[in-house]
Amino acid sequence: MERQAIEHGHNHYEMELPHGRLHLYASPDVMRSFEAKVYEMADNNLRIPRNVYMSYTPDAHVGVGTCIGTTAVWRMKDGFVSPSIVGVDIGCGMRVHLTPLHRRDIQDRAVRRALIEAIERYVPTNERTNTHYADIDIMDVVRHGLKGLPERYVPDERWLTHVEESTFKFDHAYLEHLPPKIRKYAHGQLGTLGGGNHFIELQYVELAEEQRELAERWGLFDGQVVVMIHSGSRAWGAMLGQAYTKELREAMYSWGVENPDRNLIYAPIASREGQSYLNLMYSALNFAVSNRHMIAYGVREAFRDVFGAEMELPVLYDLMHNYALKEFHRNEPMLVHRKGATRALPPGHFLNAAAYKETGHPALIPGSMGTSSYIMVGRPEGIKNFYSICHGAGRARSRKATKELVTVDQFERSLRVGTDDEVLVNHRSLQSILDECPQAYKDVDQIIDSVVGASLADVVATCKPMAAIKGV
């Protein structure tokens, strides 16, 4: 495929593809690392009519139907919605909780091991283990999000306000069309971690000197222990995604719509299929934010078991990186898809949660096991990319290729096994999670540097890993 790149400076490129323009935000080195397939997938996405804008963040890599790291925008009045540009794990995202602890308080391996074991008691990490919260009505959660949770599971008001949205509103009548098995499978998964790249990580904070005042305003301090959580909508979102992949593919066939990639599906926003997907997608967003909330609730209980009943873990922020939301841009409503892309609103933006109106909200960017994660804040210049930044490091190789190319010894070295700074994990055998080793991912520091260099966001704090809990 012939490609012509226009360089706008500041890590911003514009690529002319056969069916439209693709914007890329990456350093020259990261740009050179993109494989040809990502451009082929972008061109397939740009075949969807009336696209307003499409971009890749520097962590972009090949996904199913659409690359992870995509922002794609259509007008609400005449545009399209694509489950492929949302992703199967609808509402997957990040959450960070603060603690009053300093890294020295958990430096002892025995303390960290006790925390890991306590967290595993409260947060099921095995797919076959059911939730501890069977008393919560799953339908209240998918209808009302955090506001559907019983009051006893909401430690304080911040748990409802320091989030992207506490409730995603939609027409509940669409729930009547769901097969009963979705309710059955999802009921046992609220407050559970899931497998793959989902995790709970204990980290300590290093503040960026130029953002120290903002960091302290957010409640951060040097050496502080924080908890980072990565999970999504579990079976609720996955089964919705599967159901609508099939339904929309059949609808596209009946409309005579074709695309070279059969995994890329889409429908007009105004169509029956488009409205059905959008409404039920919001139900999955409600499940996802509630799932992370209940995981965090379990982590709080675990910390209390180890450090005492007075221990509190106030929430810093919760946000998503797999979704499509109606947002106002260029003086009109648009549907902004983000698949593996994080919204990073600047100070003063009207879409900020009330608690972060003045400062901009924390944008939470995980690294990989054994590498740093980041807390960032959006810049006003981010408007050029619809306020989207990276969602993590981004995979450099597939799970299969990782297992073939990386040894357990290499994985151990990356976790500094046997040293005082070892990143402890909950798995007794690293072989079982080898496909999640740092070598499977891009260099997160290069990704963050690309975002900062593109003037999309600034680093507020770097989070160094001390212990990681992974699902199976």
61 in active site = no
- Overall average pLDDT of the 115-143 stretch: 89
Does the pLDDT of residue 1 top 60, yes or no? Answer: no
Lowest mean pLDDT among 66-80, 137-151, 193-207, 231-245: 231-245
- Overall average pLDDT of the 394-418 stretch: 86
Model pLDDT, residue 411? 86
Which residue numbers belong to the known binding site for GMP?
Answer: 197-201, 321-322, 366-369, 373, 391-394, 470
pLDDT tens digits for range 203-248? 999 999 999 999 999 999 999 999 999 999 998 998 888 888 888 9
Which residue numbers belong to the known binding site for Mn(2+)?
Answer: 89, 198, 230, 321
The answer to whether the CB of 413 falls within 8 A of the CB of 457 is no
Model pLDDT, residue 156? 95
Which residue numbers belong to the known binding site?
Answer: 89, 197-201, 230, 321-322, 366-369, 373, 391-394, 470
- Overall average pLDDT of the 281-290 stretch: 97
The answer to whether the CB of 457 falls within 8 A of the CB of 451 is yes
Lowest mean pLDDT among 132-141, 154-163, 450-459: 132-141
> Out of 8, 293, 391, 427, which one is annotated catalytic?
391
Identify the architecture of domain 4-396+441-470 in CATH.
Alpha-Beta Complex (3.90)
Does the pLDDT of residue 2 top 60, yes or no? Answer: no
pLDDT confidence band for 131 (50 / 70 / 90):
confident
Model pLDDT, residue 375? 98
Model pLDDT, residue 134? 85
Q: How far is CA 181 from CA 186, 189, 240, 285, in A?
A: 8, 13, 11, 19
Model pLDDT, residue 129? 67
The answer to whether the CB of 382 falls within 8 A of the CB of 11 is no
Model pLDDT, residue 139? 94
- Overall average pLDDT of the 25-48 stretch: 96
Residue labelled with tokens 């209940």:
294
Domain chopping of the chain, boundaries: 4-396+441-470
**In this structure, what are the phi and psi dihedrals at residue 206, rounded to the nearest 5 degrees?**
-120, 115
d(CA 199, CA 369): 9
Q: How far is CA 458 from CA 155, 257, 346, 452, in A?
A: 31, 42, 10, 6
